[in-house]
Amino acid sequence: MLLACLPVHAQTAGNAEAAKGKVSMCIGCHGIPMYRTAFPEVYSVPMIAGQAPDYIVKALQAYRAGERSHQSMQAIAKSLSDQDMADLAAYYGGAGKAVK
């Protein structure tokens, strides 16, 4: 009975092919090995190719909600729809590397 009261969070299915037109905003930082940003502070940028798709979606949602702090990532995440996030997660999580 308690389960009936809980909200249902349906995961949007990601489309790696659709993400090919969206990855330009990611590749500039996340596609460079050992890259470090200098704004807003020095920060080692993680490689996201091969990362679990669920993790990528949750991280982007947390940036969008302001629960994770990094000005650039918050701004980017706020520009993404749930479908965009799912597509990017499918792209980077696919087969352990980015789809070419």
Type of residue found at 23? V
Nearest to 61 by CA among 48, 73, 45, 71: 73
Residue 64 lies in a domain: yes
Residue 3 lies in a domain: no
Residue 48 lies in a domain: yes
Q: How many CA atoms lie within 13 A of 32 on its CB side?
A: 11
Q: How many CB atoms lie within 10 A of CB 52?
A: 11
pLDDT score, position 98 = 44
pLDDT score, position 88 = 96
40-66 per-position pLDDT tens digit:
567 788 889 899 999 999 999 999 999
Residue 8 lies in a domain: no
Q: What is the mean pLDDT of each run of 10 residues along the chain (100 residues)?
A: 45 87 88 71 81 96 96 96 96 64
Q: The CATH number of the domain where 31 resides is what?
A: 1.10.760.10
DSSP letters, the chain, are -GGGGSPP-PPPPP-HHHHTTTTHHHHHHHTSTT-EE-SSS-EEPPP-TT--HHHHHHHHHHHHHTSS--HHHHHHHHT--HHHHHHHHHHHHGGGS---
- Tell me phi and psi for residue 34, to 5 degrees: 65, 20
The whole model's pTM is what? 0.76
Total structural domains within the chain: 1
